[in-house]
Amino acid sequence: MANDLNKVLLIGRMTRDPEFKSVNGSSVVNFSIANNRVYVTNGEKKEETHYFDCVAWGRLADILKQYAGKGKQVAIEGRLQQQSWETPEGKKASKIRVYVETAQLLGGQGQGGGSGDRSDSSSSYDSGISSGYDDYPAGDDDIPF
Amino acid sequence: MANDLNKVLLIGRMTRDPEFKSVNGSSVVNFSIANNRVYVTNGEKKEETHYFDCVAWGRLADILKQYAGKGKQVAIEGRLQQQSWETPEGKKASKIRVYVETAQLLGGQGQGGGSGDRSDSSSSYDSGISSGYDDYPAGDDDIPF
Amino acid sequence: MANDLNKVLLIGRMTRDPEFKSVNGSSVVNFSIANNRVYVTNGEKKEETHYFDCVAWGRLADILKQYAGKGKQVAIEGRLQQQSWETPEGKKASKIRVYVETAQLLGGQGQGGGSGDRSDSSSSYDSGISSGYDDYPAGDDDIPF
Amino acid sequence: MANDLNKVLLIGRMTRDPEFKSVNGSSVVNFSIANNRVYVTNGEKKEETHYFDCVAWGRLADILKQYAGKGKQVAIEGRLQQQSWETPEGKKASKIRVYVETAQLLGGQGQGGGSGDRSDSSSSYDSGISSGYDDYPAGDDDIPF
DNA sequence: TTTT
DNA sequence: TTTT
């Protein structure tokens, strides 16, 4: 069986602070990204917003927990993932989300803060951070951006 | 408002023949792609298949209708799209699919055929085809691949 | 012959103002992007900067001329292109550049300005703009960002 | 400093067998990819071929050495890299190549073989293989495709 | 320097 | 359920 190409690249803003949890000792964050699309159809300008659910694991999850937040602009790279589960009624359900492999915080003019004491994290430089299970393309351990 | 980066790249096989319809005079095809993932966790090889819904419009839809089919391997480039609708019960629902902007048929050894008389389309060369509303990066009108 | 997948996605800062020219009535801009890479090798943090030459045509060129500038952070999407030419001595030469199809100006804190009177263009919102030969995924004609 | 987004995705055919060497005990392969572009300008079909130099390291290099070869169709994912060096005359020179992070061999109808005894490797199934310094998204050790 |  |  092949390992097929599967790559997603998005820029958008977090609709809320990343939701953190720990699964079997591993860090996990879930968040949603608002991605705007602007286009012109026969002279008329149109705007749409699409919302995409994202998940990140490991060190990347820790860093996003610490530095990302509602309104922050972020570039993410990852892959599409089909989650499947059974509903309480025993029906099969599935949805698509983005498994984030790398994230770069952009110096956007988001409203920042949101949930309280994250305001101190506004070191305001861009960052590229990756999942961190490998030590290859990674950020710094102390001041990731 | 911005036009945010939104790019998806996938290789996979069509799980069925593209489903064709005409919407306000425009061609539309819907299809699903099986994308395989192979990875190793602590020495153990694992395999998963993820299924992604795709839609294509215009000339690309026409070409996919004519040349693509169940089992065919295809590389697609497009963008993530959040479809939103109301259920018959008046609830809001939404799902993610891939809006295909370009497709390249790969000369894979899929089980081909499926729904009968498409076997004659096995011109068996690769192809890169795009949506065709613009005439810029496009294929030929007669022998697209 | 196929139209093979060829996609490049970069975030970086312009090393200088885009260099504008007109070729057979079409607008062309050339510019260079500084793309930073940060990684860790056996505990040690490393940094590198890579410079990539880019070219854009048409309406995208006009917009970049008007709104982009030295130090601006930009996300670009395009394709790799091999330029070939003959040297004055009659030798064959070739180099790789990025043919930009879409660009999104990011609200970064670059040193801005540079060549004088562009400072007034700091409308400071992000933007996604594309080549504009098609009217499909495009920006606005008046206030592109 | 940021770790900026830098992503390249290409499909093409190897113009020759990968050139293998060992650098400080690490495997390295160099190869060149022919990437075809087909487009239409005012009704006229045009074709171009662009050649891109690629490099892969580690386990991915080993696998490409063993299974890839001249004429093989491959999908690669990686990043742009600017190589810089000094000429024998003491001048600075630089070129752009693709640092390959993942490769998927496609079941194309390349002329295969080429340099002798690779013909036995035509297991002819697609494959997705990655650099292998991490054990995360990887192939099998024995039968990678 | 080049692939199908 | 939503960001600027």
- Phi and psi for B49 in degrees, rounded to 5? -120, 130
Report CA-CA distances (Å) from C71 to B4, B129, D1, D82: 20, 36, 14, 20
Note the CA–C1' distance, A52 to F1, in angstroms. Answer: 12
Nearest to A108 by CA among A63, A66, A69: A69
Asked if the model's pLDDT at residue C89 lies above 50, the reply is yes
Given a contact cutoff of 8 angstroms between Cβ atoms, the answer to whether B50 and A4 are in contact is no
Q: What is the pTM of this model?
A: 0.85
Residue of chain A whose alpha carbon sits nearest to that of D8: A7
- Residue C119 is predicted with a pLDDT of 38
Asked if the model's pLDDT at residue C133 lies above 70, the reply is no
- Residue D95 is predicted with a pLDDT of 96
Nucleotide at minimal C1' distance from the D12 CA = E3
Asked if the model's pLDDT at residue C75 lies above 50, the reply is yes
In which band, very low, low, confident or very high, does the pLDDT at A126 lie, cut at 50, 70 and 90? low
Asked if the model's pLDDT at residue C139 lies above 50, the reply is no
- Residue C111 is predicted with a pLDDT of 44
- Greater pLDDT, B88 or B34: B34
Side chain identity at C72, as an amino acid letter? Answer: K
Interface of A with D in 103-132 (CB under 8 A): 104, 125-130
- CA count, 13 A, side-chain hemisphere, A27: 17
Cβ-based neighbour number of residue B9 at 10 Å: 24
Given a contact cutoff of 8 angstroms between Cβ atoms, the answer to whether B113 and B91 are in contact is no
d(CA A12, CA A32): 9
Helix (H) or strand (E) segment spanning residue A61: helix A58-67
Asked if the model's pLDDT at residue A119 lies above 70, the reply is no
What is the overall mean pLDDT for chain A? 82
Neighboring chain D residues of C2 at a CB cutoff of 8 Å: 36, 38
Give mean pLDDT, residues B110-128: 45
Beta bridge partners of A95: A83
Q: Please report the sign of the dihedral spanned by the C-alpha atoms of residue D116, residue D120, residue D124, residue D125.
A: negative
Asked if the model's pLDDT at residue B66 lies above 50, the reply is yes
Segment of A105-114, A123-132, C13-22, C119-128 carrying the highest mean pLDDT: C13-22
Neighboring chain D residues of A128 at a CB cutoff of 8 Å: 2-5
Distance from the Cα of B36 to chain D's closest Cα (Å) equals 9
Tokens of A28: 């996990």
Q: Where do we find the tokens 């060497």?
A: D21
Query: Residue length, chain D?
Result: 145
- Residue D130 is predicted with a pLDDT of 80
In which band, very low, low, confident or very high, does the pLDDT at C120 lie, cut at 50, 70 and 90? very low
Report CA-CA distances (Å) from C15 to A9, C70, C79, D116: 24, 5, 20, 48
Mutate to test the interface with C, among D57, D80, D94 (most CBs of C within 10 A): D80
- Residue B126 is predicted with a pLDDT of 56
Asked if the model's pLDDT at residue A110 lies above 60, the reply is no
CB contact under 8 Å between C108 and A104, yes or no, is no
Distance from the Cα of A140 to chain D's closest Cα (Å) equals 10
Give mean pLDDT, residues B51-71: 96
In which band, very low, low, confident or very high, does the pLDDT at D35 lie, cut at 50, 70 and 90? very high
pLDDT tens digits, residue range A68-91?
999 999 999 999 999 999 888 899
What is the overall mean pLDDT for chain D? 82
User: Is residue D109's beta carbon less than 7 angstroms from any atom in nucleic acid strand E?
Assistant: yes
Nearest amino-acid residue to E4, taking CA and C1': D110
B10 Cα distance to chain centroid = 9
Q: Which of A43-52, B114-123, C1-10 has the lowest mean pLDDT?
A: B114-123
Asked if the model's pLDDT at residue D96 lies above 80, the reply is yes
Given a contact cutoff of 8 angstroms between Cβ atoms, the answer to whether B124 and B143 are in contact is no
Note the CA–C1' distance, B22 to E2, in angstroms. Answer: 44
Helix (H) or strand (E) segment spanning residue C13: strand C6-14
Nearest to D71 by CA among D27, D21, D37, D105: D105
